[in-house]
């Protein structure tokens, strides 16, 4: 890996506190771009606006990328050049490009009955089952990202207040809340299953079967195994529990600013997408309950 790219990856990890998943996507996007420059005999530091446009055309025509993927790749390249500018390597060719318009995709979420089925799957008579039950409950109760979940340490939890200190994107701290059901399963895990798993005196909350820190990939594998044991016919991702958290809060009357704070969104526009879902639900409730609508 070239020196500048390696330094940028370190910058994303140390200074930006991005997840390993996000960093890997940046790396793949930039390696593809730099390989293209090498193949076309283009010096990346002096790439022109015309050459940048040609690269975007290449992504569409030869790589058959979707607009959302092209937009992400351009954003990755822009971030890289902003980083290089700190070393007096300035090039704004990609900043002059317009990002492709992306169609709005509504976030997928679980209905209440689907969540209840998920929660019944973990076997509470085993250490891993106790852990998995807490993972499900905590993701839904707090709305935190999986990358934030696996970073929770025992000292971050206030059991009396039922709060957890979370270190989110950009090293920004926030407090999230959980409920009595989650606390009950958490205590079972801490007093039983975790003690059996903790062979390495680890202070992370969630441990793998070897006693090490559970990874984001590990959580994804756990959820995939759980969904296969249910009757649900849908692809599950950890983010669906986060989407469900936000959607259900809004459905129950929580205001948008509070949901924004709980999710750790910097911008309200990132939270606004959930209003499309709740508006559909409001319409459905209206049509089913208003006397004139039922006729």
Residues carrying an active site annotation: 145, 169, 239, 242, 265, 274
Please report where in the chains the tokens 């090293």 appear, as a residue.
171
Q: Which long-range contacts (CB under 8 A, 24 or more apart) does 261-264 make?
A: 261/174, 262/142, 262/143, 262/174, 262/176, 262/177, 263/143, 264/144, 264/145, 264/148, 264/166, 264/168, 264/169, 264/172, 264/174
CB 37 within 8 A of CB 48: no
Residue 76: how many CB atoms within 10 A of its CB? 20
Please report where in the chains the tokens 């270190």 appear, as a residue.
167
């Amino acid at each position: 890996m070239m020196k500048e790219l390696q330094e940028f990856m370190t910058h994303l990890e140390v200074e930006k506190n991005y997840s390993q998943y996000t960093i890997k996507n940046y790396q793949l996007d930039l390696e593809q771009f730099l390989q293209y420059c090498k193949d076309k005999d283009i010096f990346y530091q002096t790439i022109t606006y015309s050459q940048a446009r040609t690269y975007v055309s290449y992504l569409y025509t030869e790589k058959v990328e979707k607009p959302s993927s092209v937009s992400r790749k351009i954003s990755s390249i822009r971030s890289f050049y902003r980083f290089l500018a700190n070393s007096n390597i300035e090039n704004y060719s990609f900043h002059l490009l317009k990002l492709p318009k992306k169609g709005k995709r509504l976030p997928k979420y679980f209905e209440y009955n689907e969540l209840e089925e998920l929660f019944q799957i973990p076997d509470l008579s085993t250490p891993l089952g106790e852990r998995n039950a807490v993972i499900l409950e905590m993701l839904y109760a707090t709305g935190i990202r999986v990358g934030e979940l696996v970073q929770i340490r025992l000292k971050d939890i206030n059991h009396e207040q039922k709060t957890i200190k979370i270190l989110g994107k950009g090293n920004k701290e926030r407090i999230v809340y959980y409920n009595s059901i989650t606390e009950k399963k958490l205590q079972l895990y801490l007093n039983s299953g975790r003690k059996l798993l903790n062979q390495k005196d680890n202070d992370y909350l969630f441990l793998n079967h070897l006693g090490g820190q559970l990874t984001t990939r590990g959580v994804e594998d756990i959820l995939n195994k759980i969904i296969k044991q249910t009757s649900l016919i849908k692809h599950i991702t950890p983010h669906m529990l986060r989407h469900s958290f936000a959607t259900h809060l809004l459905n129950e009357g929580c205001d948008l600013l509070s949901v924004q704070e709980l999710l750790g969104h910097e911008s309200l526009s990132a939270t606004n997408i959930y209003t499309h879902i709740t508006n559909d639900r409001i319409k459905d409730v209206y049509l089913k309950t208003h006397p004139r609508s039922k006729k």
